[in-house]
Amino acid sequence: MHSLLALFVSTYYSDSVIDLIFLNMSCAQVIYYIEPYFKRPSDHALLIVDLSITPKYIQMHRKILKQDSEEEVTFLLSVSERLFQLNFSALDSIAGLDLLSKMISGLFANCWATYAKRITVTTHSKKWWNNECRDTLEIYRQTGE
């Protein structure tokens, strides 16, 4: 990532620590300012970064088990019951250990596929987001007010 220094000041202060901030951004330039006049007693200077907010629509799919839900309880009971049914006596060889580990992995995968709920995470998927918020944002984008 390339960045553009907006204020040409030294980034070195005697006996100072320079903290780095890594941004996962797709924009080509990030404008930042180092404010040496607001240097703290700990020898840290403020680093101000301008981040653009884009109207990008984000949509991801995840499988989850909501904490303390009926599905979580059922998932844990099912895993426990199936683990109890496994034969742990064949752990006297590497092949036996490999087989048992594959069975445990498959057991968790099957239970997860059965009880986890598929959700869609979007840019505005927080519970407070409603139609009024969407309409207000759309008006703002159109008029800039």
**Calpha distance 35→37 (Å, rounded):** 5
- Domain hosting 22: range is 2-50
- Asked if 76 and 133 sit in the same domain, the reply is yes
- Asked if 77 and 138 sit in the same domain, the reply is yes
- Asked if 78 and 107 sit in the same domain, the reply is yes
Local confidence pLDDT in tens for the 145 residues of the chain: 344 444 444 555 555 555 566 666 555 566 777 776 766 666 666 777 776 666 566 777 888 898 889 999 999 999 999 999 998 887 888 888 899 999 999 999 999 999 999 888 776 666 667 788 888 888 888 886 5
Identify the pLDDT of residue 142. Answer: 86
- Asked if 85 and 113 sit in the same domain, the reply is yes
**Calpha distance 8→60 (Å, rounded):** 40
Q: Which residues contact 107 (CB under 8 A, 6 or more apart)?
A: 79, 82, 83, 86
- Counting the structural domains of the chain, the total is 2
Identify the pLDDT of residue 5. Answer: 46
Q: What is the DSSP string of 4-66?
A: EESS---S--TT------------SEEEEEEEGGG--TTSPPEEEEE--------EEEEEE--
Residue 129 CB-half CA count within 13 A: 8
pTM above 0.75, yes or no: no
